[in-house]
Amino acid sequence: MRSFLTMLGIIIGVAAVITLVSIVSGFSEEMLSSFESMGTNKISVNIIGRGSSRNVEPDEMHTLAKENPELIEYVTPTVSIQNATIKSGSTNITSSITGVNEYYDEIDSKNIETGRFLTYLDVEHRLKRCVIGTYISQELFGTKNGVGQTLKINGTQFTVAGVFEETAGSEDGSTDDIIVIPYTVAQKLSYNGKISSYTFTGADKDKIDITKKTIENFLYSKFEDTNAYLVISMAEAVDIINELMGMVSSILIGIAAISLLVGGIGIMNIMLVSVTERTREIGIRKALGATGWDILSQFVVEAITTSAVGGIIGIILGIFCAKVLANSLGLPSAISATSVLVAFSVSAGIGVAFGYLPAKKAAKMNPIDALRHD
């Protein structure tokens, strides 16, 4: 029991490190996968502020794209309507609406399962057409093929022109809860008809930085104020996520390391008690010819063994907890061999670091004094 209690701090610390690193890595993988599926050649532009002086017309952005065909492949305005009421017959649901142009399916790499995507005429003539995700189609019409059906968005009737291909792993509807309409219609439905967001795709992934700079130069020439806009590429977003996840991981590991430190102190205390209890044994061994090094190595090995066994139990517990949490959160289980090896090495290292002082004390004992000890 005493040995188990000695190992408890190590077990908890190692298990916490394995679990936290796995969950953070899994979350990071999920986020990065999501961004990469969107395309790392995408650039998002947000116009900040209100008033006509802070406005960019779609024609201006299209002109910019036409003037730089070697840099810009597609561009679409984006008008978002949050928490819109969607109705079909007696069925009501709430969803977000995205107003775009005919290039959105190319920009966002969306495939059409049935029907078609929005066309130039839909956008130009402000036709009430929409393309929906399979989740929306199933919820409203009881089928994944809702082409030709009608629905109302905040009271305005639309005809379903197409249904997006179902996204893998979207059983809960999270990625297929999508409705897109012409941005020209979305402007009329939104409280603020101003277009404050655009999405570009770069023609060359190797020139994304140049493309971003070109867009920024255009916006600066228009507003003469760098605070009037925000331009960010998906590649930058990926870098930011990696940096953020690294910081979070470091903080969590630091917290878990406190438990390892406590476990190490526990090992040192127990080893000191063990040295005191085994004073006569140490004296007998020395009297029979054991050197200080023999005694030192004996107690260090005992400390390492205790710590390493605690580390192994902690690794097993950590892997179990990581898999359970990953499954419950819907994240990939990202348990790396490196994190397991590091956790085991640290636990063994703690045995050396915190077992050395008691071992040194035992090695320096005078055999005569040790034999007199009761």
Which residues, 6 or more positions from 168, have their beta carbon under 8 angstroms from its beta carbon?
none
- 315 and 264 in a common domain: yes
Q: Which residue has the higher pLDDT, 317 or 245?
A: 317
- 186 and 58 in a common domain: yes
Most confident of 167-181, 296-310, 353-367: 296-310
User: What is the band of 140 on the pLDDT scale with cuts at 50, 70, 90?
Assistant: very high
Q: Which of 233, 253, 271 is the last residue of a domain?
A: 233
Token pair 């930085």 in the structure block, residue:
209
Give pLDDT tens digits for 23-57. 888 877 777 776 666 667 899 999 987 655 678 99
- 131 and 277 in a common domain: no
User: What is the band of 10 on the pLDDT scale with cuts at 50, 70, 90?
Assistant: confident
pLDDT at res. 125: 95
pLDDT at res. 158: 97
Strand intervals (E) in the chain: 42-47, 72-77, 79-88, 91-100, 112-115, 129-132, 150-153, 156-164, 179-182, 197-202, 229-233
CA–CA dist 64, 218 (Å, integer): 8
3-state DSSP assignment of residue 157: strand
Phi, psi for residue 77 in degrees, rounded to 5: -70, 155
Token pair 């995408």 in the structure block, residue:
42
Is the CB of residue 183 less than 8 Å from the CB of residue 78? yes
Give pLDDT tens digits for 187-243. 999 877 788 899 999 988 889 999 999 999 999 999 888 889 999 988 887 788 788
Query: With 70 as the cut, is the pLDDT of residue 374 above it?
Result: no
Is the CB of residue 352 less than 8 Å from the CB of residue 346? no
pLDDT at res. 63: 94
- 146 and 129 in a common domain: yes
User: What is the band of 281 on the pLDDT scale with cuts at 50, 70, 90?
Assistant: confident
pLDDT at res. 50: 66
Token pair 């609406």 in the structure block, residue:
97
Mean pLDDT of the chain: 85
3-state percent helix, strand, coil for the chain, nearest multiple of 5: 60, 20, 25
Q: How many CB atoms lie under 10 A from the CB of residue 14?
A: 32
3-state DSSP assignment of residue 216: helix
Average pLDDT score over residue span 330-342: 78
Query: With 90 as the cut, is the pLDDT of residue 74 above it?
Result: yes
- 205 and 87 in a common domain: yes
CA–CA dist 38, 172 (Å, integer): 20
User: What is the DSSP pairing of strand 79-88 with strand 150-153?
Assistant: antiparallel
Average pLDDT score over residue span 150-172: 85
pLDDT at res. 52: 57
- 127 and 76 in a common domain: yes
Q: Which of 239, 240, 215 is nearest to 229 (CA)?
A: 215
Token pair 């630091």 in the structure block, residue:
254
- 277 and 153 in a common domain: no
- 194 and 135 in a common domain: yes
pTM greater than 0.85: no
- 293 and 176 in a common domain: no
Largest pairwise CA distance in the chain: 104
How far the first Cα of the chain sits from its last, in Å, is: 25
pLDDT at res. 117: 96
- 181 and 77 in a common domain: yes
CA–CA dist 140, 154 (Å, integer): 15
pLDDT at res. 73: 93
Query: With 60 as the cut, is the pLDDT of residue 169 above it?
Result: no
- 244 and 228 in a common domain: no
Query: With 80 as the cut, is the pLDDT of residue 1 above it?
Result: no
pLDDT at res. 234: 84
Query: With 60 as the cut, is the pLDDT of residue 18 above it?
Result: yes
- 6 and 58 in a common domain: no
pLDDT at res. 162: 95
CA–CA dist 13, 123 (Å, integer): 58
Q: Which of 233, 260, 288 is the last residue of a domain?
A: 233
Which residues, 6 or more positions from 373, have their beta carbon under 8 angstroms from its beta carbon?
279, 280, 283
3-state DSSP assignment of residue 225: coil
Domain count, the chain: 2
Q: Which of 181, 202, 233 is the last residue of a domain?
A: 233
Put residue 224 in one of left, alpha, beta given phi > 0 → left and psi -120 to 50 → alpha: left
CA–CA dist 98, 155 (Å, integer): 16
Domain span at residue 158? 41-233
Average pLDDT score over residue span 4-13: 80
